């Protein structure tokens, strides 16, 4: 084999190697495109118990004192957020935590029924979002519990939630407030 021929063959191989590398790289890039990323849809937060209801039903005595009492009572408002998390990628992911500026404490909880007894527990290991699948946070099941909600929430309001995933992804969700019922 002449040295010229060896050089030509090596050249062909290099071209092939570059082509494969490029294909792999481009393929990776497609994976990383937002279309294959985790997305959140149908997020919502239940309204907090309206505070005016109490003042009105106490004979409408909305004195400053009464309003002050209400405010202190409502310093520990609680409510829950729900949503559907979709994972179109080939790798499972896990929702590790959620946070929001509107609440002092935000935890992922799950309601389960043991016969007729309702249990609610923080989900310590996070929520798995299966590859090419979804997980639904919904009433009577998984939810994000908001504790120490700073202001009352009513329909028309929007709550910003930040979700952190095991993959390192952080997603910001705007969740509209739905009525208490």
Partner 1 sequence: MKFLLVIMSLMVMLGGCSQGGGEAQPTSTPLPGTVLDPPRDVADFTLTAHTGEPMKLSDLRGKSVLIFFGYTHCPDVCPLTLAEFKKVKTELGSSAGQVAFVFISVDGERDTPERLTQYVTAFDPDFIGLTGDDSTLRTISRDFGVFFQRQNSNDTNYLVDHTASSFVVDPDGRLHIVYPFDTDPAIIAQGIRKLLEK
With beta carbons less than 8 A apart as the criterion, state whether 1 and 8 touch.
Answer: no
From CA 135, how far away is CA 174, in angstroms rounded?
18
From CA 70, how far away is CA 128, in angstroms rounded?
39
Return the residue of 129, 145, 159, 163 that touches partner 1, per CB under 8 A: 145
127 lies in the binding site for partner 1 (CB under 8 A): no
Question: Least Å distance between CB 128 and partner 1?
Answer: 18
116 lies in the binding site for partner 1 (CB under 8 A): yes
Token couple for 60: 């409408």
65 lies in the binding site for partner 1 (CB under 8 A): no
With beta carbons less than 8 A apart as the criterion, state whether 118 and 74 touch.
Answer: no
Token couple for 139: 């009433």
Return the residue of 133, 139, 155, 176 that touches partner 1, per CB under 8 A: 139
List helix spans (H) across 33-169.
52-57, 64-73
Token couple for 47: 């309204």
Q: How far is CA 90 from the centre of its chain?
A: 19
Return the residue of 39, 89, 99, 111 that touches partner 1, per CB under 8 A: 111
Stretch that binds partner 1, among 21-29, 89-97, 107-115, 163-171 (CB under 8 A): 107-115
Question: Least Å distance between CB 14 and partner 1?
Answer: 58
Binding site for partner 1 (CB under 8 A): 46, 49-51, 53-54, 56-58, 69-70, 73-74, 76, 78-80, 82, 105, 109, 111, 113, 116-121, 138-141, 143, 145-148, 180-181
């Amino acid at each position: 084999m002449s040295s010229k021929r060896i050089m030509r063959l090596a050249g062909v191989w290099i071209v092939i190697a570059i082509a494969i590398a490029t294909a792999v790289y481009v393929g990776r890039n497609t994976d990383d495109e937002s279309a294959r990323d985790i997305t959140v849809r149908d997020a919502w937060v239940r309204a907090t118990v309206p505070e005016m209801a109490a003042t009105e039903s106490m004979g409408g005595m909305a004195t400053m004192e009464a309003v002050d009492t209400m405010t202190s009572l409502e310093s520990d408002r609680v409510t829950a957020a729900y949503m559907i998390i979709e994972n179109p990628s080939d790798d499972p992911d896990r929702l590790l935590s959620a946070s929001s500026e509107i609440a002092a404490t935000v935890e992922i909880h799950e309601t389960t029924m043991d016969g007729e007894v309702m249990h609610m527990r923080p989900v310590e290991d996070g929520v798995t979002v299966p590859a090419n699948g979804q997980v639904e946070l919904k009433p009577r099941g998984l939810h994000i519990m908001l504790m120490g909600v700073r202001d009352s929430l009513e329909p028309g309001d929007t709550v910003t939630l930040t979700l952190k995933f095991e993959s390192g992804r952080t997603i910001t969700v705007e969740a509209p407030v739905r009525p208490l019922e």
